[in-house]
Amino acid sequence: MKNGYKIQKNKEKGFTLLEILAALAILGVLVVVMIPFFTNYAVFTSKAEENVDAINLAEKVMYEVVEDYPLDSYISRASIANCDTTPNLLPSGNGLPKNISGDKVYEVKGLLCSRPGKQSGGENVNLYQLKIELWNEQTMVTETFTYVNYK
């Protein structure tokens, strides 16, 4: 005790109304700022899912064309164009579907071209570039490539 006065300490604990309102205002501002990020994330996720679906479908078509159907059922070797010029558009049928559907329906385009002069161990190999494209209306969604041995 100094000078005969006793200093009382405030023993009450807790937050004042002003502190709670300030915290809620800050939290509200943060939520308002973050909402566009969440909506953009949802749009991005949807587009990424569509792309993955299209890639998987293109690879499925590629596998079916390469494994299940001989290339000569599509086109003769003599008529295959060089890849530096316009590649041959494979006709639908014989394993190459006109359309394929996953979450959406895509138009399938198969392109085949030759790359002359490819050698392996000093001998020519008959490798041809096969490209599968998936189109949604007028937009190419995805494309995938492989090399096939035309026997």
- pLDDT (tens digit, 9 = 90+) per residue, 16-36? 899 999 999 999 999 999 988
Buried b / exposed e over 74-94, threshold 16 CB at 10 Å, is bbeeeebeebeeebbebeeee
The length of the chain is 151
pTM value surpassing 0.85: no
pLDDT of residue 76 exceeding 80: no
CA distance 41 to 60: 28
* 66 vs 150: CA distance, rounded Å: 10
Kindly report the CA angle at 62 between 68 and 142, in degrees rounded to 5? Answer: 165
What average pLDDT does this structure show over 100-126? 73
Q: Would you say 106 and 54 are in contact if contact means Cβ atoms under 8 Å apart? A: yes
Is 7 a residue whose pLDDT tops 80?
no
What DSSP designation does 6 have? P
Q: What's the one-letter identity of residue 60?
A: K
Q: 20 in helix, strand or coil?
A: helix
pLDDT at 95 over 90: no
